[in-house]
Structure 1
Amino acid sequence: MNFQPLGKRILVERVEETKTTASGIIIPDNAKEKPLSGKTLAVSSEVECVKTGDTVVFGKYAGTEITLDAKQYLVLNLDDVLGVIK
């Protein structure tokens, strides 16, 4: 994949959440919401506070979804990132 975000943007791959609850109930795919966290795959040269490989948390409707190499990714503005999970 050759993608370099421009401006203050990052490329994120959503982290899939578990498919069962703590009590063992299986959650069907159509009942799950999209994850609100993801792993950073590429970072613009203008972004200093987030690095490639960081796990970030973002808003529910943040970013623009794109498809690269038949996989779904999310391009986020730095302003859409709520925090970094350490």
Structure 2
Amino acid sequence: MAKRLIPSLNRILVEKIVPPSKTNAGILLPEKTSKLNSGKVVAVGPGARDRDGNHIPVFVKEGDVVLLPDYGGTEVKLGDKEYVYSCI
């Protein structure tokens, strides 16, 4: 479903990872510990060009796990999944 959004230039599409609310042993985790914003890269743009026209490739690839800034990127919701469309 996320393949409908194709990043351009040096942008990436990241699927947010929802941290578990309890451990395997059944211990409930407080909400404050689950505030780490991380996600899995779903799609990567082709890269940008510098002033001389040389290609600058994007240094992340699909499948990489990245940390997301609190107020960075554009949040997109497709179906029941949340994505972040961001610039590198």
TM-score (norm 2): 0.68
- Overall identity of the aligned pairs, in %: 40
Separation of aligned partners in 1, 2:15 and 2:74: 12
User: Who is 2:11 aligned against?
Assistant: 9
Assess if the C-alpha contact under 8 Å between 1:65 and 1:75 holds in 2.
yes
Q: Provide the aligned C-alpha RMSD in A.
A: 2.5
Sort the Cα spacing of 1:34 and 1:6 in 2 relative to 1 into closer, same or farther, 3 A: farther
| Amino acid in the other structure paired with 2:20 | T
Separation of aligned partners in 1, 2:11 and 2:39: 14
Assess if the C-alpha contact under 8 Å between 1:43 and 1:51 holds in 2.
yes
Alignment partner of 1:76: what SS? strand
Separation of aligned partners in 1, 2:70 and 2:39: 12
For residues 20-49 of structure 1, give each alpha carbon's deviation from its aligned partner in whole angstroms, at most 9, with x where no partner exists: 37x965247xx4565411000000000420
Larger Rg: 2
1:59-78 → structure 2 map (5 Å cutoff) = 59-78=69-88
Assess if the C-alpha contact under 8 Å between 2:12 and 2:85 holds in 1.
yes
Separation of aligned partners in 2, 1:59 and 1:3: 21
1:70 shift after superposition: 4.5
Aligned length: 76
Q: Which runs of 5+ in 1 are unaligned?
A: 79-86
1:69 shift after superposition: 3.7
Per mean C-alpha deviation after superposition, the further-off stretch among 51-60 and 67-76 is: 67-76
User: Who is 1:39 aligned against?
Assistant: 40
Separation of aligned partners in 1, 2:20 and 2:29: 9
